[in-house]
A and B are shown apart, each in its own frame.
Chain A
Amino acid sequence: MMLNYAGEILPSLMSGAWMTVQIFFWTLIISIPLGIIVSLGLRSRVAPIRWVLKFYVWLMRGTPLLLQLIFVFYGLPVVHIIFERYDAAIFAFILNYTAYFAEIFRGGFQAIPEGQYESAKVLRLTRWQTLRKIVIPQVVKIVVPSIGNETINLIKDSSLVYVIGLGDLLRAGNIAMSRDVTLLPLVMVGVIYLLMTAIATYLLRRIEQHYSTWR
């Protein structure tokens, strides 16, 4: 009986989960490179660039993601910037997560001793070669655990898109629960989230292991 019911609602939960995965994937793929660029900008020699980016990071980290979602979808149309629900969600998530990733990468870049740049300079490596071959690999190793934390958070944060009416995993569970007056859908939703975070945790551990061959 219960198994039948579970089987019945599984397809709708799965399509909700697919939405969750999509938001997760695009946010991660775009926010990480953007975060690196912003973190370099936060260390820029040009003061106005630093100010603007600091303000952006402060704004994104200082206000709730939920508020940012609402603002992008319901607020921006007031000034004639209109997003589809899905695009609004992706846009807000990228804005928010880029700021967090930028702060993480800024810390990573700061941890590289000046001597590494100097030793690259006397070996006549260009700035770009130094970044690519020496600095970025070291920064990545430093930031992997923190990026991992944010990645897990992102999976769970993606449930906030219910507020702009997107059909993600949590919403799918919610609908089934109120329709059928049973808690089972929410239990299943919880299990699916756990599976997703477990997969992410596993992959992250593999990446950490990849960087454990040197210190």
Chain B
Amino acid sequence: MLELKNITKRFDGRTIINNMNLTVPDGQILAIVGPSGAGKTTLLRCMSGLERIDSGEFRLDGQVFDPYENRDNDKVIGVVFQDFQLFPNLTVMENITLSPEMVLKQSKTEAEARAQELIDQLDLTGKETLHPFQLSGGQKQRVAIVRALAMNPKILCYDEPTSALDPDLRETVEKIILSLKASKMTQIVVTHDMSFAENIADQILRVEPIKPS
């Protein structure tokens, strides 16, 4: 279970997130919706340790943790970026196994076996030796999901998972997210697409821009 307690984030004196409290139970899907500029992505960046919060705390399974300093513990939050950010110089397989090998110190065989399972599961079989530029948008996104999953995250976050894809791929993303839910993955999805959010989420958090006071 992930808990946010009184999270506040400011940029240059402007408050983006103000005293936010939130609980995401294990295995559930939280969708964060709202107009652009409302701080959805900022919230996700704080959770995943890309931005430092100004005050408040994160708790995972009751224990306080600081995602900004998450290097050495295993309370990991995985992220699937809006533009995927695959590493163009590495093959699909290398994209997935790089961190498990370098960070989790898995052997190459071990990392590749686990990666292959996930590759097969997300319908990427046969793409292992391709480079990202040879993949379609949907395939890139699935590689990004597999790459995040290979680090055994407790929670998987998505930033606008539908926005870089053709509209007809939306359903595929829904299916993937729901199938991961079936395997008990806790997921947080930032989106501006309300109907997409309603289709997948157990809990919807609506955020609005904070008016300067």
- Contact surface of A with B, Cβ cutoff 8 Å: 113, 115-116, 118-126, 129, 133-134, 137-138, 141, 213-215
Contact = CB atoms under 8 A, between A and B. Distances in A.
Contacts of A141: 89
Given A125-B98, A213-B131, A137 B89 contact: yes
Contacts of B87: 116, 119-120, 133-134
Contacts of A138: 88-89
Contacts of B81: 115, 118-119
Interface in B64-95: 70-71, 76-79, 81, 83, 85-90
A214 B89 contact: yes
Contacts of A214: 88-89, 131-133
A121 B50 contact: yes
A122 B48 contact: yes
B135 to A, nearest CB: 11
A141 B98 CA distance: 20
B138 interface: no
B89 A122 contact: no
Closest 9 CB pairs of A and B: A119-B85, A214-B131, A123-B99, A215-B133, A137-B89, A115-B85, A122-B79, A124-B103, A134-B87
Contacts of A122: 48-50, 77-79, 148
16 contacts: A113-B85, A115-B85, A118-B81, A122-B49, A123-B103, A123-B151, A124-B71, A124-B76, A124-B103, A125-B98, A129-B102, A133-B90, A134-B87, A134-B89, A138-B88, A214-B89
Dominant secondary structure at the B interface:
loop
B147 interface: yes
Contact of A215 (B48, B99, B131): B131
Interface size class of B (residues with CB under 8 A): 20 to 34
Contacts of A137: 89
Contacts of A120: 87
Nearest to B76: A124
Contacts of B88: 138, 214-215
Nearest to A122: B79
Nearest to B94: A133
A124 B151 contact: yes
Contact of A119 (B70, B79, B103): B79
Nearest to A124: B103
Given A116-B85, A121-B49, A121-B50, 17 more contacts: A113-B85, A115-B81, A115-B83, A115-B85, A119-B79, A119-B85, A123-B147, A123-B151, A124-B151, A126-B71, A133-B87, A133-B90, A133-B98, A134-B90, A138-B88, A213-B131, A214-B132
A125 B185 CA distance: 23
A125 B102 contact: yes
A121 B79 CA distance: 10
Nearest to A136: B89
A212 B83 CA distance: 23
A141 to B, nearest CB: 7
Interface string B114-154: 00000000000000000111000000000000011001000
B129 to A, nearest CB: 10
A65 to B, nearest CB: 34
Nearest to B91: A214
A79 to B, nearest CB: 46
B49 to A, nearest CB: 7
Contacts of B102: 125, 129, 133
A214 to B, nearest CB: 4
Contacts of A133: 87, 90, 98, 102
